[in-house]
C-alpha cells in the first residue's frame, strides 16, 4: 500500500507521541514482581485492580530511595513513559519512589518482620550475652548526631575506662542501611571490640526506616560481637531491635546497658573490702578459738602428761640405779676391808711380830718336822732379823 508504515516507523511514532505526551507522570500502584538486578537497576510491575504497567528504575535514581521495595507495597512514583522499540512495550522510567502512605511502610515492616522471624533471625538461642566490663565499645551512628553525644556523655560518667570506636554512618535516607550494615561488618573485623551499639535518635517511621532494612538485620544477626540496637524513643521498634542481642529504648539507655556504673563498682569494692576484712578476722578468731580448744583438750594434754610420767619414771629408775650402785660398792668396799684385815692378820710379818719364827731350807719353808733335814743349813727368820744354823 502507498501509505503503509513499517513496524519500526510505527513504533517510533508511538514512542514520540507517548514520550511527548507523558513526559512527567505521577502514578500510584502496588508493586509486583520486583527484581533488583545485579547491575543495580530495578525492574517491577505497578498494578491496580484493573491494569498493570512495567517500570524501570535505574541505579543512579534508585540509590535515593530510603527503603527497599517489596511486592504488595503500595507506592507513589514519578517518571515518564518510554517505549522499548525491540519489543514494542511501553513502560515507566521511574525517577523517584515513595510509599503511598505510612500504612504501607508499616505493612512492609510487619511483612519483613514475619519473614525474618520465620527464618529464625530473632530466635533467643542465637542471642549473645553483653559483656559486663567492656574495654572497647563500637558505635555505628551519625558522628554529628545528638545520639552519639548522649552516648559519649553516659560512657564518660559511668565507665570512663571504656574506649569508644565510632563508625560514622548515615542513619536515614538513601544509602543509610548499606552504611549501617558496612559499619557492623567493619567493627567485626577490628580487634578487641567487645560490644557494638547501633542507633539514632527519634523520628518518624520513614526517618527510622534504615534500621528496618533486611541488609541491616542480616548484618546484626551475622555479627560475632554482641549488638545492642537503640533506635528512636522507647515506643519505637525496628527490625534491628528484634535481630539484635539486646534492645535499648534509647541510645543513652544502650550505653547504660553496655557499661557498668563506676560508682557502684567503687561501692562494691569498698563493701567487699570491709566485709572481707571482717570475715578474715572472724575466720582467724574462730580458728584461734579452735586451736585453743584443741590445745587444751585431753588429747593434747595426754602426750605432755605421758612425757612427764615417763620423766618421773626415768628419774625413779636412775635413783634406783644410783642407790643399787651405792649399795653394791659399799658392800664391796666392806668386803674389801674385811679381806684386807684378814690378809693383814695373816701376813707373815704380823705373825712374826707375835713371836713366831719362819724356818726355811734351800729357799723352801719348812712347815713339818718331818721335812726338816738336820744336816742342811737352815735359816730362821724372826721379826727383827734372820739367823743361820746347822745341826
Considering the domain architecture, whether residues 133 and 240 belong to the same structural domain is answered as: yes
Q: Name the 3-class secondary structure at 329.
A: helix
Number of domains into which the chain is organized:
4
Last residue of some domain: 210, 235, 260? Answer: 260
Beta bridge partners of 44: 55
User: Which of 292, 121, 347 lies closest to 213, judged by CA?
Assistant: 121
Same domain, 382 and 254: no
List of residues 6+ apart from 94 with CB closer than 8 A: 42, 55, 56, 57, 61, 62, 77, 78, 79
Structural domain span for residue 367: 348-389
Q: pLDDT band for position 318 (50/70/90)?
A: confident
Q: Is residue 151 part of a domain?
A: yes
Inform me whether the pLDDT recorded for 190 exceeds 90. Answer: yes
pLDDT in the model for residue 44: 93
Q: How confident is the model at residue 374 (pLDDT cuts 50, 70, 90)?
A: confident
CATH code at position 214? 3.40.50.10550
Q: Are 179 and 168 in contact (CB under 8 A)?
A: no
- Tell me if 373 sits within 8 A of 361, measured CB to CB: yes
Choose the most confident range, by mean pLDDT, from 243-257, 274-288, 298-312.
243-257
- Please tell me whether residues 75 and 158 are part of one structural domain: no
Asked whether residue 107 is domain-assigned, the answer is no
Dist. CA 295–CA 359, nearest whole Å: 88
Inter-residue contact 159 to 262 (CB < 8 Å):
yes
CA pair distance 84, 89, nearest whole angstrom:
5
Report the sign of the C-alpha dihedral through residues 7, 53, 174, 243, in that order: negative
Amino acid at each position: 500500500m502507498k501509505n503503509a508504515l513499517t513496524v519500526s516507523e510505527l513504533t517510533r511514532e508511538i514512542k514520540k507521541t507517548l514520550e511527548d505526551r507523558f513526559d512527567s507522570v505521577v502514578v500510584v500502584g502496588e508493586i509486583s514482581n520486583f527484581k533488583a538486578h545485579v547491575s543495580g537497576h530495578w525492574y517491577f510491575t505497578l498494578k491496580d485492580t484493573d491494569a498493570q504497567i512495567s517500570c524501570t528504575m535505574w541505579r543512579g535514581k534508585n540509590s535515593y530511595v530510603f527503603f527497599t521495595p517489596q511486592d504488595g507495597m503500595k507506592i507513589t512514583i514519578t517518571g515518564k513513559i518510554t517505549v522499548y522499540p525491540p519489543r514494542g512495550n511501553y513502560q515507566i522510567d521511574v525517577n523517584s519512589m515513595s510509599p503511598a502512605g505510612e500504612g504501607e511502610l508499616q505493612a512492609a515492616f510487619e511483612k519483613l518482620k514475619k519473614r525474618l522471624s520465620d527464618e529464625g533471625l530473632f530466635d533467643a538461642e542465637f542471642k549473645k550475652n553483653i559483656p559486663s566490663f567492656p574495654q572497647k565499645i563500637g558505635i555505628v551512628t551519625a558522628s554529628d548526631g545528638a545520639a552519639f553525644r548522649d552516648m559519649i556523655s553516659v560512657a564518660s560518667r559511668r565507665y570512663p575506662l571504656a574506649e569508644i570506636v565510632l563508625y560514622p554512618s548515615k542513619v536515614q535516607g538513601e544509602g543509610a542501611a548499606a552504611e549501617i550494615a558496612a559499619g557492623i561488618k567493619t567493627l567485626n573485623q577490628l580487634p578487641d571490640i567487645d560490644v557494638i551499639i547501633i542507633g539514632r535518635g527519634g523520628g518518624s517511621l520513614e526517618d527510622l526506616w534504615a534500621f528496618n532494612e533486611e541488609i541491616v538485620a542480616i548484618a546484626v544477626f551475622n555479627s560475632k560481637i554482641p549488638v545492642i540496637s537503640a533506635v528512636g524513643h522507647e515506643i519505637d521498634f525496628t527490625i534491628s531491635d528484634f535481630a539484635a542481642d539486646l534492645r535499648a529504648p534509647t541510645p543513652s539507655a544502650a550505653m547504660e546497658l553496655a557499661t557498668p556504673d563506676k560508682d557502684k563498682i567503687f561501692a562494691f569494692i569498698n563493701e567487699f573490702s570491709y566485709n572481707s576484712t571482717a570475715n578474715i578476722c572472724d575466720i582467724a578468731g574462730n580458728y584461734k578459738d579452735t586451736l585453743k580448744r584443741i590445745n587444751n583438750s585431753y588429747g593434747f594434754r595426754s602426750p605432755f602428761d605421758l612425757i612427764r610420767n615417763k620423766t618421773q619414771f626415768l628419774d625413779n629408775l636412775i635413783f634406783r640405779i644410783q642407790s643399787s650402785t651405792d649399795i653394791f660398792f659399799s658392800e664391796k668396799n666392806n668386803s674389801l676391808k674385811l679381806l684386807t684385815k684378814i690378809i693383814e692378820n695373816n701376813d707373815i710379818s704380823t705373825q712374826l711380830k707375835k713371836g713366831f719364827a719362819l724356818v726355811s731350807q734351800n729357799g723352801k719353808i719348812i712347815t713339818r718336822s718331818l721335812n726338816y733335814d738336820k744336816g742342811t743349813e737352815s735359816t730362821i727368820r724372826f721379826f727383827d732379823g734372820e739367823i743361820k744354823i746347822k745341826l
